[in-house]
Amino acid sequence: MLVVKKFGGSSVADAQRVMNVARIVTDTYKEGNDVVVVVSAQGDTTDDLIEKALEINPRGGKREMDMLLSAGEQISISLLAMAISSLGYPVISLLGWQAGFQTNSTYGAARIKRVDPERIRAELDKRRIVVVAGFQGINKYDDITTLGRGGSDTSAVAIAASMHADVCQIYTDVEGVYTADPRKIPSAIKLTEITYDEMLEMATSGAQVLNNRSVEMAKKYGVELEVLSSLKRAPGTKVKEVTNVEKMLIKGVAKDDSVARVSIIGLPDSPGIAFKIFSRIAKAHICVDNILQSVGRDGTKDIAFTVPASNGDEAVQALKEYCEAKGVKALECDTNVAKVSIVGAGMETHEGVAADMFGALSDAGINIQMISSSEIRVSVLVEKKDADRAVEAVHRHFLGD
């Protein structure tokens, strides 16, 4: 079998944890499998490096930032290779470019164009364990790029997809995917299975246990994903096309508190306004989530929408000139908000799920600012201070204590 294993920052945070990972990896190798291991930077290394850069120059440039951040993973791969070697097994570490990761040139959020796995294949043929730096690649200028925060999950899935691995195991600091963040909601339940679509909605709604791009890629290439603990040897959660074990209406509740709401008050109520607004936002490469437009009254209307918090100011900048020209009353960005979502394929065939969610929020005295939904998700925007209580109330309603 070809097994791809990925270990996140907390799983390799110190020497003891690195040795623990080495044992997990060599146990699989010992059984006669080919093993490729993807690792993230140790503990808070990536955050610390970002802080160091900001101290020196907050506008140091995205290319240099990627050069800096890729160093975190370089440390982990060499340390893990040394740990595996100390146990007496053949091993080699490879940086993203050595492992064949070709990306586009969007520094800080690069997309993988392809993985050329020849080198990895050659090393496996020598019966070596291959340790690959996650989160990084190289662009057409031979410059280092990074894939965006949490991107090592995507590195692992990309290798699994390009090499047709039998399984891709994502090891982390919890035992799998739960019905809510188990660190915040003690009654959260570990799921044995979840569909790609459900996991994608969960990840996009703020459950950072898997990076959303990794789930998207796993679905596209049919990679069997498994999320499990690096600290406790126990079965985790399988992410796959169809599940049959749990017939649950709701698979989980997620929170995203890094969102901003942009509101435009007093736009002319005439055709083409939404087009003008959102084409400017798209041109600035900002992803929009919830959109709310009021019913026109006295010749004016209001539009509000959410964007990632880090894009809030950019969104306002992109609209300022247009809004001034149209004489709007106000153009505001509010980061004091959070999005709370419920996800579950079961809601496709059950009516009243959204109403139930709103009821639970109402009972908890929480005001809903905006609502959006897909076939298998309902999201509400609430005040940031209410977000944890909202998750708790909704989780209790659908999934019990």
Tell me which residues touch Mg ion (CB under 5 A).
8, 150
Shortest distance, position 234 Cβ to ligand ASP, whole Å: 22
The sheet with strand 252-268 has its strands ordered as: 291-293, 300-308, 252-268, 330-343, 377-383, 370-374
Cβ–Cβ under 8 Å, residues 259 and 339:
yes
Shortest distance, position 307 Cβ to ligand ASP, whole Å: 20
Q: In this chain, which stretch among 45-53, 178-186, 368-376, 391-399 interacts with ligand ADP, using CB under 6 A?
A: 178-186
The one of Mg ion, ligand ASP, ligand ADP, none whose footprint includes residue 149, by CB under 5 to 8 A per kind, is ligand ASP
What gap in Å lies between CA 394 and CA 396, rounded to an integer?
5
Nearest residue (CB) to ligand ADP, 9 versus 301: 9
Is the torsion defined by CA of 363, 366, 371, 376 positive or negative?
Answer: negative
* Subset of 31-50 contacting ligand ADP (CB under 6 A): 40
- Element spanning 111, H or E: none
- CB nearest ligand ADP: which residue? 8
What gap in Å lies between CA 28 and CA 310, rounded to an integer?
41
Residue 152 interacts with ligand ASP (CB under 6 A): yes or no: yes
State the first-to-last Cα distance of the chain, in angstroms, to the nearest integer: 41
Cβ–Cβ under 8 Å, residues 142 and 102:
no
Residue 183 interacts with ligand ADP (CB under 6 A): yes or no: yes
Per DSSP, which regions of 104-236 are E strands? 112-115, 129-133, 136-138, 144-146, 167-172, 193-195, 225-229
Shortest distance, position 252 Cβ to ligand ADP, whole Å: 5
Nearest residue (CB) to ligand ADP, 109 versus 274: 109
Residue 209 interacts with ligand ADP (CB under 6 A): yes or no: yes
Q: In this chain, which stretch among 77-85, 174-182, 269-277, 388-396 interacts with ligand ADP, using CB under 6 A?
A: 174-182
Shortest distance, position 215 Cβ to ligand ASP, whole Å: 14
Residues that bind ligand ASP in the complex, under the rule CB under 6 A? 8-9, 40-41, 46, 72, 134-135, 149-152
